[in-house]
């Protein structure tokens, strides 16, 4: 997995690619927590995300809870396999997903 | 039935995943199906590696067995995980409430829920001192 971080003003864009699983989800969690409390808009660009397991979902939910306190979170460019996981778990209803 | 027997540690995870996926990929499943099976292997194996043997694996015990079979006619995958750890039925836990808001939802608890949803059937048995989880899924 790779995470690229781009901050412009109070908007942070994290571009996530590869696999978010048990072995890599901690790295994503650190990147999300690392954007700091001044950010009011977090964009997660998942165009290159190939795989996500429950440990990755745990981090996404943590991020949504965090951004509910300080602004908003938008998820972009989710592929159909990952979207299906979001759908089954009810995440599609609690996340803001832009296709 | 093909079988792999490993020490139940995360160090063996890639080998277990490869063992299952090599057979699954041989019948050319859709990318969505492939990902579903991969996810099931991760969720179940990580649970065994993390919790089945709280005293560790250093004494040579603490094994996990993974068995697979794909029927040649219907391409039905049978995937079985066994361990000799503490008796634990992963299906006993209630499903998470997926209708709650983000703030109300608890972090975690989605692994087994995903397994149940991704497979056609999931059966737990405790047989001869082994936790045995038998899952089936049509791959066509």
- Domain around A7: 2-98
Question: For A45-94, what is each residue's pLDDT tens digit?
Answer: 999 999 999 999 999 999 999 999 999 999 999 999 999 999 999 999 99
**Cβ contacts of B23 within 8 Å, gap of 6 or more:** B2, B68, B70, B77
The whole-number average pLDDT for the span A24-31 is 97
Question: For B82-138, what is each residue's pLDDT tens digit?
Answer: 999 989 999 998 999 999 999 999 887 899 999 999 999 999 999 999 999 999 999
Q: Domains in chain A: how many in total?
A: 1
Beta strand A72-76 with A97-98 is parallel
Question: For B49-68, what is each residue's pLDDT tens digit?
Answer: 999 998 775 555 699 999 99
- Domain ranges (residues) in chain B: 2-138
Which pLDDT band holds residue A99 (cuts at 50, 70, 90)? confident
CATH code of the domain in which A34 resides: 3.30.750.24
Residue B18 has pLDDT above 60, yes or no: yes
ipTM: 0.89
Q: Tell me the CA distances in angstroms from B79 to A80, B50, B65, B91, one per residue in order.
A: 25, 20, 11, 16
Interface of B with A (CB under 8 A): 10, 13, 31-32, 35, 38-39, 42-43, 46, 96, 98-103, 105, 107-108, 110-111, 113-114, 117-118
Q: At the topology level of CATH, where does B2-138 sit? A: Heat Shock Protein 90 (3.30.565)
**Rounded to an integer, what distance in angstroms lies between the CA atom of residue B68 and that of residue B5?**
12
pLDDT for the residue numbered B57: 59
Interface of A with B (CB under 8 A): 21-23, 51, 53-55, 57-58, 61-62, 64-65, 68, 80-81, 84-85, 88-90, 93-95
């Amino acid at each position: 997995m790779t995470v690229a971080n781009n901050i412009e003003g109070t908007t942070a864009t994290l571009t996530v690619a590869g696999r978010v699983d048990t072995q890599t989800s901690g790295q994503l969690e650190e990147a999300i927590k690392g954007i700091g409390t001044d950010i009011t808009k977090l964009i997660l660009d998942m165009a290159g995300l190939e795989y996500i397991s429950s440990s990755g979902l745990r981090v996404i939910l943590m991020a949504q809870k965090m951004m509910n306190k300080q602004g908003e979170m938008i998820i972009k460019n989710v592929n159909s396999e990952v979207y299906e996981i979001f759908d089954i778990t009810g995440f599609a209803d609690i996340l803001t997903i832009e296709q | 039935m093909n079988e792999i027997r490993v020490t139940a540690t995360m160090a063996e995870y890639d080998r277990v995943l490869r063992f299952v996926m090599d057979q699954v990929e041989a019948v050319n499943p859709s990318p969505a199906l492939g990902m579903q099976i991969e996810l099931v292997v991760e969720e179940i194996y990580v649970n065994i590696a993390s919790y089945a043997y709280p005293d560790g694996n250093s004494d040579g015990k603490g094994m996990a067995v993974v068995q697979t079979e794909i029927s040649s006619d219907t391409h039905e995958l049978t995937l079985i995980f066994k361990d000799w750890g503490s008796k634990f039925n992963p299906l006993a836990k209630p499903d998470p409430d997926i209708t709650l808001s983000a703030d109300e939802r608890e972090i975690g608890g989605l692994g087994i829920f995903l397994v149940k949803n991704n497979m056609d059937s999931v059966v737990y048995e405790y047989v001869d001192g082994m936790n045995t989880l038998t899952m089936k899924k049509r791959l066509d």
